[in-house]
Amino acid sequence: MTHAQERSRPYGSSDELAARFRSTRSLSEALVEPLSDADATIQSMEDASPAKWHLAHTTWFWETFLLRESVADYRLFDERWPFVHNSYYETEGERIARFSRGMLSRPSLDEVVAYRAHVNEAMEDLIDDSRHADLIALGIAHEQQHQELLLTDIKHALHQNPLGPAMWERVESASGETRPADGWYGHPGGIARVGHQESGFAFDNEGPAHRVLLEPFALSQRLVTNGEWDEFMADGGYERATLWLSDGWAWIKDNAVTAPLYWREGEQFTHSGWQERDPHAPVTHISYFEADAFASWAGHRLPTEFEWEAIARGQEGEDAAHDPTAGNQLDHAAPPLPTGEGSLFGDCWQFTRSGYLPYPRFQPAAGAVGEYNGKFMSGQFVLKGASCATARGHSRASYRNFFYPHQRWQFTGLRLAKDV
Amino acid sequence: MTHAQERSRPYGSSDELAARFRSTRSLSEALVEPLSDADATIQSMEDASPAKWHLAHTTWFWETFLLRESVADYRLFDERWPFVHNSYYETEGERIARFSRGMLSRPSLDEVVAYRAHVNEAMEDLIDDSRHADLIALGIAHEQQHQELLLTDIKHALHQNPLGPAMWERVESASGETRPADGWYGHPGGIARVGHQESGFAFDNEGPAHRVLLEPFALSQRLVTNGEWDEFMADGGYERATLWLSDGWAWIKDNAVTAPLYWREGEQFTHSGWQERDPHAPVTHISYFEADAFASWAGHRLPTEFEWEAIARGQEGEDAAHDPTAGNQLDHAAPPLPTGEGSLFGDCWQFTRSGYLPYPRFQPAAGAVGEYNGKFMSGQFVLKGASCATARGHSRASYRNFFYPHQRWQFTGLRLAKDV
Amino acid sequence: MTHAQERSRPYGSSDELAARFRSTRSLSEALVEPLSDADATIQSMEDASPAKWHLAHTTWFWETFLLRESVADYRLFDERWPFVHNSYYETEGERIARFSRGMLSRPSLDEVVAYRAHVNEAMEDLIDDSRHADLIALGIAHEQQHQELLLTDIKHALHQNPLGPAMWERVESASGETRPADGWYGHPGGIARVGHQESGFAFDNEGPAHRVLLEPFALSQRLVTNGEWDEFMADGGYERATLWLSDGWAWIKDNAVTAPLYWREGEQFTHSGWQERDPHAPVTHISYFEADAFASWAGHRLPTEFEWEAIARGQEGEDAAHDPTAGNQLDHAAPPLPTGEGSLFGDCWQFTRSGYLPYPRFQPAAGAVGEYNGKFMSGQFVLKGASCATARGHSRASYRNFFYPHQRWQFTGLRLAKDV
Amino acid sequence: MTHAQERSRPYGSSDELAARFRSTRSLSEALVEPLSDADATIQSMEDASPAKWHLAHTTWFWETFLLRESVADYRLFDERWPFVHNSYYETEGERIARFSRGMLSRPSLDEVVAYRAHVNEAMEDLIDDSRHADLIALGIAHEQQHQELLLTDIKHALHQNPLGPAMWERVESASGETRPADGWYGHPGGIARVGHQESGFAFDNEGPAHRVLLEPFALSQRLVTNGEWDEFMADGGYERATLWLSDGWAWIKDNAVTAPLYWREGEQFTHSGWQERDPHAPVTHISYFEADAFASWAGHRLPTEFEWEAIARGQEGEDAAHDPTAGNQLDHAAPPLPTGEGSLFGDCWQFTRSGYLPYPRFQPAAGAVGEYNGKFMSGQFVLKGASCATARGHSRASYRNFFYPHQRWQFTGLRLAKDV
């Protein structure tokens, strides 16, 4: 594309966008192939949703924001379903209490798949229309987010089962037999430009791009490993109050937390059931509180979101061949959850010490879509990178994931930083 | 049978017992036929259990108390399942938290059905052995209890679904177009013999039979109806504190209770989805608190368990042909949940003002089976009769059902009493 | 008095009633003498009330039900106080949330004492009027109940204080150095007449008197002691699920209960601070759950309320000199909380296995006073006897105290029964 | 002082520091003069502490960190009190559960005052010793913080009382009869130096000083008023979900919030009881959620902490006579809580949209004192300025107050910002 084309077609040609729509839709369905109707129905906590609900809700998105608005004679698949499959859009009317989603044994998984087909077919009439490109790109990104949630939510649900069921065969880990090499990316400080500044899709919370002033710092070239976490635990990491934020200390006491989520003696729970823990693989399923305590114990700290982004962009600069979305992320090829050594992207989302707050001159988008990200800007922290469960092509240097400091059912990990 | 035979075979001949075992097992399976794997998996509250769990737990009972004990080479269907399917038997070891039962998407409904077949087959070797007759009779009664719970639990779960799904076609109600006739059974007072005193199975809590002293009283010949409940509500029944027990008033305020469970404007939720409410049918799904408030409003009171039993036995006396288990209860014929006019049995369990407490000289049975009923003797009330969801042949005059005063997801109703 | 007089003056002569009014009022004030304004203000849990509130509420009772009704020109001490000092009388209008009583630093203790004086003075005009005798007798009984609550509530509050403050000097215990002798009161069974059947005041829930049928039984001549409780604990009493009611087991697990309330190593908390525990003194501050578990462990059981009453009345018969209210109960003489060997009355309230439920033909009194007892008839158990904190003359054989099975901040103890 | 002296004596001469110690101690005692022992004992919520506890805890601070460490023969006032009066210092050993502070009716207010005298006297030997100047300055700042908390905590406690008691006579408000003039402080953007950069005391969280990059913006010259808040409410401010952060919307629904804390029809609760609300006075006792929703409604936003500080420093630059601590803050002169027009300081703490997080190169101090501020760095927002309850001399441009977004019992208000 020419530069002018690029500006007018930030998401690629209409054929490319249509292809991405189709492959995204189809990936969602592939992810639930190993699941029974019952697997896809259960909800293990308020933070999580049933797999079936993710499938339906992502479909509701297309129906509500595109088909209902733009197709004159569009017939709703079922008139009562919007109420059931709305998530948090207050402007889109009433919705069921979040924790009741696990009661939706009906519609069945098959009916939800039929709903998806109905909407996919109707979408074919719109998919080439460049007037809808913005919403289509948003809908793809939205569905990719739910793909990751679907995977982390079903993992949490299967973990509740004392029988420890697997949804996939065990995937060989890419991490080898040796501890990854230490090393730091250095940065001299100064003014850096951060936030979404390329063509292509980005969420509203990634902009506007702006400049920030950084002090000199260094960022670890690798993630903290399971083996290092074992050392932290052996050294009384979970018993020494002075390592912990006050809220974190209360949280581990109230919840009897003594290890990362999904750990038990020598093993961790995975999509392939209980597996031996690889000491050289990145530690994952930790909370911000745990990440911060570990960093204190290690004599380092968490990076800010801008430090992380500056290094990520520097990498991009240094190495034109570097594809931040390459690596071990989720795509249509099965099995989808390998782990591996990486760039800053992949393996685990990485906690930063930056609160999830608006950038200068941030404005939420108008309408219901504007509820997308801005309304969650209190009490959460920014995570950067991407995980093994992130759809390929979904992440980028400016991407801001966000969770509360106690949440850890995502593939969350830790990359240390230090002042220099 | 001769009297001597009856004493030695209180549950009928071994063929009869075996036939009852088989028909009970088969009824359980028939009940879940309209349910999907997902329907059978969900759990809507801590008081309820998934349908699948009921199927498996009743099977676990046979495996644990009979097959494992008495069949030398019995092979457990799955070694990890006992942990999952134990209910509350502390002596039988660890078990999963009650509210985690709804996370058991695996095993699937099909696997549970296979488990049932495995156990049924193994049971065939024992079923004729009179040494096991007591445990077999108990196991049948246990399974019948879970049949009723299965039905009330799935009703509660389906009710959470805003789509209001049905599991059966609508069943025509037996109640006609006219309000049932008023009338009272009178009793002159005096000494009555209560508790289990016949041959045949009874739970430990129904005995020992003993004498009680009654004052003169009368018991209504019919249950309170939906139409009468409408009058109670129209007269401010839920807004007048003086009608209510103190705990009841707190309960309706804390839970915003303004009608029986499953009511909405002009309709009630049933196993056949939302249906128009019949004003002449017995009101059901009320709590003890509501039953007591209604009785106060009506100028009457609830009967004691012994008053109820004395009348029930009197009926039996007057009418030798009276079969207390006849009527509209659950058996293998579909559809299983009609309502109808009745004896004291059928339609709804009836709250009494009697606390669920031990009879004089009550002794729990030895061993794990002894945990059966005695350990629940605090804070609950006795209910008498049987409901439309009670298995035919399960109830009797001495039967003591029991629930906490706020619980109302059973088919609970109300028969008034008065002093004379 | 002649018999005719007795019937017309069931509470004694008007001089006697007036004297009891005055000594009761004055005892309330004596009880708070050791307390500071701050002591009298704090509230340690929802079940308890501040001492100051007890003083004011008992005064509000006279103001509301007598002075405001019967004295034409009665001036309320403060127009805003009725709202603050109403307890649970729904018919008397709005009242503050129960757990906000501990926020009433104002009015001060001095102001409340002034309120008492104001009401006492106004009462002098009514006290001789026989038309009010029923309400006066009720008001005295009501105030006596609050005297006991005041003592148990302040004990609970002082116990929260890690400094373990005392409100009285240590009182020498009457229990000696030897374990009390074992022994049983036998009863042959048969028909007994129970409930209030003498002249004199009784609460509505003690009647109507009626007959009950008892099986043969025996009741221990003494209360279970601290030393016996030590044996129960040493034998794993709090760790063996099979000894416990199901609700009780959940309660000890949820609340980490491993001993009676107020126990710590070798000591117990008293109104005189932490004191060495006397192994021969009756165990106290136990819940129904604990009492029931102990009885199971001991191979005995709790008595019913009627068994207890039958023995208490038998004692009275055998020994005309026996005064059930004699002994070690609370009166104006200091120090008020000795313990001692006893009749069935005194030391501790004794749990029965009888649910707190209405007697045959029970009718609550009309009007607000009718809210007195009947509305609490669900989920609680009857306790008989009296404790060291019960006002002298307050208890009687028909008296029915009642608490929930988990409550234990009263002086609750245990007298075993057995079948014979 | 010369510049060299200033560097060596950042807190002024030892005489000046001693004078500030004495006046601070004495102000604490003056604040509780209107309170009874009971007033000083009660605790209305977990976030608040009793007045008496504040008096004792601030005294414990001197005893623990100075006297016990530095005076060889120092005698603890009471050996059991440190346990009772520790707040959150994990390194200083066990402490009582925070919500049990309200149970400390003993020690009495008089005893706590005696404790203060004991410590004050012992401090006289240390107060001139420049080796302790850092800790003394910290202790003064610590006690000043607790003075403000004492005032906001007792206000909250008195507000629970339906009698609406006052602790002071009404103070005439400084705000006049006209709405304050609108106006904006503009800022061109660019690099600003923020954080503590002067001599004198500052908390660890105010440093290190560092540079930040600002976009052009403007900050309102006045606080939002009660009258403007009335308009917000009249315009459905509390009923329009799109104005609210997601957590905020859940918070107002869960807590039925429909107005600022302490508001009722036309009035607000103050230290002088219920008073008519002045429409021209700054609105106060709002949460971050409410501040943010108002800003959205008004079409503006909250400032960042750095924007606020840049303007505050600019003011200082422009107007050498400007004393940021002048105005209407708390000092020894009574009455202490006037409101008034102001600089950026005074009246109310002002929410910023900055998360309370560490500055670059932030290091907590070593030892127990190091628990001071850093461990609270999650989930809270920074507030700038000072309130009418802040001790004179306590605040400064770099000061960072911090609270959770739902908290509003402090004098919290709102100053709007906008992009230019």
Q: Between chains, do C371 and B247 touch, taking CB under 8 Å as contact?
A: no
Confidence tier at B336 by pLDDT (50, 70, 90): very low
- The structure tokens listed for A390 are 């992130």
The answer to whether position C169 is within a domain reads no
Mutation target to probe the C interface, by most C beta carbons within 10 A, among D32, D42, D80, D94 is: D42
| Lowest mean pLDDT across A229-238, B134-143, B336-345, D219-228 | B336-345
- Helix (H) / strand (E) element for C410: namely none
Domain that holds residue A36: 3-159
Cis peptide before C107 (omega within 30 of 0): yes
Q: How far apart are CA C129 and CA C71, in angstroms?
A: 12
The predicted-structure confidence for B375-403, as pLDDT tens digits, reads as follows 999 999 999 999 989 998 898 999 999 99
Q: How far apart are CA B191 and CA B355, in angstroms?
A: 20
Residues 6+ apart with CB under 8 A from B111: none
Confidence tier at D318 by pLDDT (50, 70, 90): very low
Instruction: Describe the crossing of helices C226-234 and C288-298 by its angle, rounded to 10 degrees.
Output: 70
Residue B133 has pLDDT above 60, yes or no: yes
Burial class (CB in 10 A: 0-12, 13-18, 19+), B225: buried
Handedness of CA B238, B244, B249, B252 (dihedral sign): negative
Q: Between chains, do A42 and B42 touch, taking CB under 8 Å as contact?
A: yes
Q: Between chains, do C105 and D44 touch, taking CB under 8 Å as contact?
A: no
**C292 and C404 part of one domain:** yes
pLDDT of residue D418: 97
**C144 and C218 part of one domain:** no
The answer to whether position A306 is within a domain reads yes
Which residue would you say has higher pLDDT here, A301 or D82?
A301
Tokens 């919705």 found at:
A95
Backbone angles phi, psi at A317, to 5 degrees: -65, -50
Least CB–CB distance from D102: residue in C42, C104, C165: C42
**A66 and A122 part of one domain:** yes
Burial class (CB in 10 A: 0-12, 13-18, 19+), C57: buried
Mutation target to probe the B interface, by most B beta carbons within 10 A, among A35, A36, A52, A110 is: A36
Q: Between chains, do D245 and A191 touch, taking CB under 8 Å as contact?
A: no
- Please enumerate residues of C whose Cβ is less than 8 A from a Cβ of D: 36-42, 44, 80, 83-84, 96, 100, 102-109, 157-158, 160-163, 165
pTM listed for this prediction: 0.93
Vertex C272, ends C271 and C273: CA angle to 5°?
95
Name subunits touching D (3+ CB pairs < 8 A). A, C
Give the distance from residue B403's alpha carbon to the nearest chain C alpha carbon, in angstroms: 11
pLDDT of residue A142: 95
In this structure, are residues D135 and C68 in contact, taking their beta carbons and an 8 Å threshold? no
- Helix (H) / strand (E) element for D84: namely helix D81-85
Q: Between chains, do D378 and A213 touch, taking CB under 8 Å as contact?
A: no
Mean pLDDT of C283-290: 97
Q: How many CB pairs under 8 A join A and D?
A: 85
Which residue would you say has higher pLDDT here, C349 or B316?
C349
Vertex A57, ends A55 and A58: CA angle to 5°?
70
Q: How far apart are CA A331 and CA A30, in angstroms?
A: 10
What is the domain-level CATH number for residue D317?
Answer: 3.90.1580.10
**D214 and D107 part of one domain:** no
Confidence tier at D82 by pLDDT (50, 70, 90): confident
Burial class (CB in 10 A: 0-12, 13-18, 19+), C276: exposed
- Closest by CA to C223, choosing from C388, C354, C380, is C388
The predicted-structure confidence for D120-154, as pLDDT tens digits, reads as follows 999 999 998 989 999 999 999 999 999 999 999 99
The answer to whether position B166 is within a domain reads no
Residue B49 has pLDDT above 60, yes or no: yes
The amino acid sitting at B338 is P
Mutation target to probe the A interface, by most A beta carbons within 10 A, among B106, B115, B154, B271 is: B106
Burial class (CB in 10 A: 0-12, 13-18, 19+), D98: middle
Q: Between chains, do B378 and C241 touch, taking CB under 8 Å as contact?
A: no
The answer to whether position B210 is within a domain reads yes
Domain boundary among B129, B159, B189: B159
pLDDT of residue B26: 94
Burial class (CB in 10 A: 0-12, 13-18, 19+), B266: exposed
The answer to whether position D103 is within a domain reads yes
Confidence tier at C393 by pLDDT (50, 70, 90): confident
SS3 per-residue string spanning B95-129: CCCHHHHHHCCCCCHHHHHHHHHHHHHHHCCCCCC
pLDDT of residue B233: 98
Which chain D residue is nearest to residue C108, measuring alpha carbons? D38
The amino acid sitting at C71 is V
Confidence tier at C172 by pLDDT (50, 70, 90): low
Strands of the sheet with D349-355, listed across from one edge = D401-403, D381-385, D349-355, D412-413
**Which residues of chain C make contact with D108, given a CB cutoff of 8 A?**
36, 38
Burial class (CB in 10 A: 0-12, 13-18, 19+), A78: middle
Q: Between chains, do D157 and C107 touch, taking CB under 8 Å as contact?
A: no
Task: Round the average pLDDT of chain B to a whole number and report it.
Answer: 88
Q: DSSP letters along C101-139, please?
A: GGG---S-HHHHHHHHHHHHHHHTTTTT-GGGHHHHHHH
Mean pLDDT of D93-106: 81
H helical segments located in B49-178: 51-62, 68-70, 81-85, 109-123, 133-160
The answer to whether position D111 is within a domain reads yes
- The structure tokens listed for D87 are 């707040």
In this structure, are residues B35 and B167 in contact, taking their beta carbons and an 8 Å threshold? yes
Confidence tier at B326 by pLDDT (50, 70, 90): very low
Mean pLDDT of D31-56: 96
Number of Cα atoms under 13 Å in the Cβ half of residue B66: 28
Q: How many CB pairs under 8 A join C and D?
A: 85
Task: Round the average pLDDT of chain C to a whole number and report it.
Answer: 88
Residue D398 has pLDDT above 60, yes or no: yes
**B50 and B180 part of one domain:** no
In the beta sheet, which residues pair with residue D212? D192
Residue D360 has pLDDT above 60, yes or no: yes
Strand runs labelled E in D120-233: 184-187, 190-194, 210-214, 217-220
Mean pLDDT of D327-345: 52
The answer to whether position A316 is within a domain reads yes
**C79 and C198 part of one domain:** no
The predicted-structure confidence for A368-384, as pLDDT tens digits, reads as follows 666 678 899 999 999 99
Residue C91 has pLDDT above 80, yes or no: no
**Which residues of chain B make contact with C90, given a CB cutoff of 8 A?**
241-242, 249
In this structure, are residues C238 and C258 in contact, taking their beta carbons and an 8 Å threshold? yes
Radius of gyration of chain D (CA): 21
Q: Between chains, do C215 and B360 touch, taking CB under 8 Å as contact?
A: yes
Touch test B–C: 3 Cβ pairs or more under 8 Å? yes
Q: How far apart are CA B137 and CA B84, in angstroms?
A: 24
Give the distance from residue B404's alpha carbon to the nearest chain C alpha carbon, in angstroms: 8
- Helix (H) / strand (E) element for D135: namely helix D133-160
CA B40 from centroid of its chain's CA atoms: 20
- Closest by CA to B345, choosing from B300, B306, B381, B313, is B313
Q: From the CB of residue D259, how many other CB atoms can be counted at a distance below 10 Å?
A: 17
**What dihedral angle (degrees, nearest 10) is formed by the CA atoms of D54, D60, D62, D67?**
160
**What dihedral angle (degrees, nearest 10) is formed by the CA atoms of C63, C67, C69, C75?**
-90
Touch test B–D: 3 Cβ pairs or more under 8 Å? no
Vertex D157, ends D155 and D159: CA angle to 5°?
70
The answer to whether position B165 is within a domain reads no
**D289 and D384 part of one domain:** yes
Give the distance from residue D2's alpha carbon to the nearest chain A alpha carbon, in angstroms: 33
**D185 and D132 part of one domain:** no
**C238 and C387 part of one domain:** yes
Q: Are strands C349-355 and C412-413 parallel, antiparallel or unpaired?
A: parallel
The predicted-structure confidence for C129-168, as pLDDT tens digits, reads as follows 989 999 999 999 999 999 999 999 999 999 999 999 999 8
Which chain C residue is nearest to residue B288, measuring alpha carbons? C378
Q: Are strands D273-276 and D349-355 parallel, antiparallel or unpaired?
A: unpaired
- The structure tokens listed for C163 are 């400094």
**D210 and D337 part of one domain:** yes
Residue stretches of chain A with pLDDT short of 50: 1-2, 316-327, 332-336, 338-342
pLDDT of residue D364: 78
- Closest by CA to C396, choosing from C114, C135, C199, is C199
Domain boundary among D159, D193, D220: D159
Q: Between chains, do B357 and C358 touch, taking CB under 8 Å as contact?
A: no
Name subunits touching C (3+ CB pairs < 8 A). B, D
Name subunits touching A (3+ CB pairs < 8 A). B, D
ipTM for the predicted complex comes to 0.92
In the beta sheet, which residues pair with residue A218? A186, A418
- Please enumerate residues of D whose Cβ is less than 8 A from a Cβ of A: 88, 90-91, 191, 210-213, 215, 241-242, 244-249, 288-289, 292, 301, 353-355, 357-358, 360-361, 370-371, 375-379, 381, 404-405, 419
**D207 and D153 part of one domain:** no
Cis peptide before D82 (omega within 30 of 0): no
Residue D268, SS3 per DSSP:
strand
The predicted-structure confidence for C19-37, as pLDDT tens digits, reads as follows 999 999 999 999 999 999 9
Q: Are strands C210-214 and C190-194 parallel, antiparallel or unpaired?
A: antiparallel
- The structure tokens listed for D335 are 């009455």
| Lowest mean pLDDT across A279-288, B34-43, C190-199, C308-317 | C308-317
**C326 and C237 part of one domain:** yes
- The structure tokens listed for D150 are 């004492």
The predicted-structure confidence for B256-288, as pLDDT tens digits, reads as follows 999 999 999 999 999 999 999 999 999 999 999
Give the distance from residue D200's alpha carbon to the nearest chain C alpha carbon, in angstroms: 39
- pLDDT > 90 fraction of chain B, expressed in percent and rounded: 73
- Please enumerate residues of A whose Cβ is less than 8 A from a Cβ of D: 88, 90-91, 191, 210-213, 215, 241-242, 244-249, 288-289, 292, 301, 353-355, 357-358, 360-361, 370-371, 375-379, 381, 404-405, 419
**Which residues of chain D make contact with C80, given a CB cutoff of 8 A?**
162-163
Least CB–CB distance from C355: residue in B245, B246, B355: B355
**Which residues of chain B make contact with C375, given a CB cutoff of 8 A?**
244-246, 249
- Looking at the structure of chain B, the number of domains it has is 2
Q: How far apart are CA B236 and CA B297, in angstroms?
A: 10
> What does the buried/exposed string (b/e) look like for D122-145 if buried means 16 or more CB atoms within 10 Å of the residue's CB?
bbeebbeeeebbebbbbbbbbbbb
Q: Between chains, do B162 and A105 touch, taking CB under 8 Å as contact?
A: no
- The structure tokens listed for A138 are 């948003």
Domain boundary among B125, B159, B193: B159
Q: How many CB pairs under 8 A join B and C?
A: 85
The amino acid sitting at D153 is D
The amino acid sitting at D260 is P
Whole-number Cα distances in Å, B119 to B22, B59, B113, D388: 12, 7, 10, 77
Q: How far apart are CA B365 and CA C32, in angstroms?
A: 52
| Lowest mean pLDDT across B30-39, B105-114, B184-193, B341-350 | B341-350
